[in-house]
Amino acid sequence: MFRPVRGMKDLYGVSVNKYNFIIEQAKHVGAKYGYNIISTPLVEYTEVFQRSIGDETDVVSKEMYTFSDKGDESITLRPEGTAGIMRAIVSEGMTQSLPLKFMYYGEMFRYDRPQKGRYRQFHQLGFEHVGDKSPYTDALLIAMASEILGAIGVFDFKVLVNTLGDEETRKDYTKGLVKYLSRQEANLSDDSRRRLEKNPLRVLDSKDERDREICAMAPLISDYLSKESGQYFESVCELLAKCGVNYEIDNFLVRGLDYYSETAFEFKPTDFGVKDSFGGGGRYDHLLSVFGGPDVSGIGFAFGIERLMIMLDNSKFTSTPAKIAVIPVSEGETEAAFELVQLLYNCDIPAEFLHLGNVSKKMKVANRLECSIALILGEEELKNGTVTVKFMNAESGALKEKVVNRNGIINFLRHNI
Ligand code: AMP
């Protein structure tokens, strides 16, 4: 028996209904805020991710699906959506049209340790607003994200926000952090010791218990903020309050990718004990220029769709559209039933053509498919130009069966489904 590759899942039934619902709601809200859909390839040249996300991040150093293709090019299955979109803005010549607003959704790949809510192939839904920098933009983007959550019925969440400051802030902070971490070097994990040398900020993302204890006492970015970054963050927080966003400042929030600067945020369930976020994002000041575009700022976020799906109630996503089974009693009526099902499709009525087996088998299939009505065509019906309409699962006392004129069947169904 073949199974899906470890950490990868088949989506069907309730999960697909949930997935489609989330995307539909996000498209609706996103369109209102002026976002256009973009779909970039699932694979990019490896450098696209290496250069933007950063060599020392967990995503690049441990989690990427990187292969040599048959032409010996190093390509990578995308671990996130932002880098590919920046690449596309430049390579498709869209930089003349900045600012740009894009929504995207689809598969992402990270070679992570699979567990509940953490997969190797998962789906993200994300937004990028590229080409301007203002606290209004940040607040509106986070407000839109909160509105999307409301639209899909997720209300018990909070938005954790922090600022990573501008370049000047991060330079000063990095110095302070290195000074502190160097004193603790002997107690750090091997990974963190390497990072201390190459990219000290990434030590703060470490999942190692001892590293985390050390980082809990480390100096905070907020103590090093430049005046401009401090004011910027204050404005963002004020505007978030004006938008009615339920936010909380978290000075330890650093996000796991190198390209973030200034505003950073994550979405978490308010449910105590759930520590994993279901979405996050932030501002990136120089990302577009990494790909040869102009040095303009952008901001974006992504929700993990699987994590959103966990928060939706299964029972609301089981229903299939009210379906009609078209059932010929025997061979002699199959052709007439075939014509009838075509008529239903032409009139946009969802239907199933059940022509295999005897009548009782066909009725069983209709039940399994949760059809609400069966249209039965037997010898008698054919002779009289009628159809027998059988209401499946009709409660006692309700109309269970009715013979309807074939000419009037569409009208009848329109009034009864
Ligand atoms: P990130 O790009 O790491 O900020 O991730 C954004 C969101 O994607 C997270 O909050 C998760 O909801 C989701 N996510 C990230 N990695 C995984 C994974 N391996 N499996 C499922 N969801 C993930």
Alpha helix (H) ranges present in 159-269? 167-183, 190-198, 209-216, 227-242
Residue (of 119, 115, 107, 90) closest to 8 by Cα position: 119
Long-range (24+ apart) CB contacts under 8 A made by 10-16 are 13/318, 14/314, 14/317, 14/318, 15/309
Looking at 315, 344, 374, the residue that finishes a domain is 315
| CA–centroid distance, residue 70 to ligand 1 (Å) | 30
Verify that 97 and 231 share a domain, yes or no.
Answer: yes
Pick the atom of ligand 1 nearest to 255's CA: 4
Residue (of 202, 7, 11, 3) closest to 105 by Cα position: 11
Pick the atom of ligand 1 nearest to 279's CA: 10
Pick the atom of ligand 1 nearest to 266's CA: 10
Pick the atom of ligand 1 nearest to 256's CA: 3
Residue 208 lies in a domain: no
CA distances from residue 240 to 28, 267, 299, 300 in whole angstroms, order as listed: 22, 14, 15, 16
Verify that 110 and 150 share a domain, yes or no.
Answer: yes
| CA–centroid distance, residue 122 to ligand 1 (Å) | 8
Looking at 289, 315, 341, the residue that finishes a domain is 315
Probe residue for ligand 1, chosen from 162, 277, 283, 308 as the CB with the greatest number of ligand atoms within 8 Å: 277
> Are 266 and 146 a contacting pair, CB within 8 Å?
no
Secondary structure element (H or E) that encloses residue 346, with its range: helix 334-346
- Ligand 1 atom 15 nearest Cα: 304
Residue 79: give the domain boundaries.
14-166+226-315
Verify that 287 and 396 share a domain, yes or no.
Answer: no
Residue 20 lies in a domain: yes
| CA–centroid distance, residue 86 to ligand 1 (Å) | 19
Residue 358 lies in a domain: yes
Residue 331 lies in a domain: yes
Verify that 19 and 88 share a domain, yes or no.
Answer: yes
Over its length of 417 residues, how does the chain's per-residue pLDDT go in tens digits?
Answer: 999 999 999 999 999 999 999 999 999 999 999 999 999 999 999 999 999 998 888 899 889 999 999 999 999 999 999 999 999 999 999 999 999 999 999 999 999 999 988 999 999 999 999 999 999 999 999 999 999 999 999 999 999 999 999 988 988 999 999 999 999 999 999 999 998 988 898 898 888 999 999 999 999 999 999 999 999 999 999 999 999 999 999 988 888 788 889 999 999 998 755 568 999 999 999 999 999 999 999 999 999 999 999 999 998 998 777 789 999 999 999 999 999 999 999 999 999 999 999 999 999 999 999 899 999 999 999 999 999 999 998 777 777 899 999 999 999 999 988
Separation of CA 86 from chain center: 19
Residue 389 lies in a domain: yes
How confident is the model at residue 57, as a pLDDT? 85
Residue 46 lies in a domain: yes
- Ligand 1 atom 3 nearest Cα: 256
- pTM score, whole prediction: 0.90
- Ligand 1 atom 6 nearest Cα: 279
How confident is the model at residue 273, as a pLDDT? 57
Q: Which residues are registered as beta bridge partners of 376?
A: 327, 388
Residue (of 354, 304, 291) closest to 87 by Cα position: 291
Give the orientation angle of helix 135-151 with respect to helix 14-32, to 10 degrees. Answer: 140
CA distances from residue 28 to 107, 151, 228 in whole angstroms, order as listed: 21, 9, 35
Pick the atom of ligand 1 nearest to 302's CA: 6
Residue 129 lies in a domain: yes
Give the orientation angle of helix 409-416 with respect to helix 334-346, to 10 degrees. Answer: 60
Residue 311 lies in a domain: yes
Verify that 119 and 253 share a domain, yes or no.
Answer: yes
Q: Give the chain's domain count.
A: 2
Rounded (5°) CA angle 40-46-50:
105
| CA–centroid distance, residue 321 to ligand 1 (Å) | 32
- Ligand 1 atom 20 nearest Cα: 118
How confident is the model at residue 252, as a pLDDT? 84
Verify that 250 and 373 share a domain, yes or no.
Answer: no
Separation of CA 379 from chain center: 52
CA neighbours within 13 Å on the CB side: how many for 299? 23
- Ligand 1 atom 16 nearest Cα: 118
Verify that 266 and 392 share a domain, yes or no.
Answer: no
Verify that 286 and 356 share a domain, yes or no.
Answer: no
Probe residue for ligand 1, chosen from 60, 63, 85, 307 as the CB with the greatest number of ligand atoms within 8 Å: 307
Residue 49 and residue 126: Cα distance in Å, rounded? 17
Residues lining ligand 1, judged by CB closer than 6 Å?
Answer: 80, 110, 112, 117-119, 122, 124, 256, 277-280, 302, 304, 306-307
What Rg value do the Cα atoms of the chain yield, rounded?
A: 28
Tokens of residue 265, six digits: 């945020």
Type of residue at 176: G
Probe residue for ligand 1, chosen from 202, 306, 312 as the CB with the greatest number of ligand atoms within 8 Å: 306
Verify that 245 and 122 share a domain, yes or no.
Answer: yes
Q: Look up the CATH number of the domain holding residue 368.
A: 3.40.50.800
How confident is the model at residue 274, as a pLDDT? 59
Q: Look up the CATH number of the domain holding residue 291.
A: 3.30.930.10
- Ligand 1 atom 11 nearest Cα: 304
Looking at 315, 349, 374, the residue that finishes a domain is 315
Verify that 278 and 378 share a domain, yes or no.
Answer: no
Verify that 144 and 249 share a domain, yes or no.
Answer: yes
Verify that 285 and 369 share a domain, yes or no.
Answer: no
- Ligand 1 atom 4 nearest Cα: 280
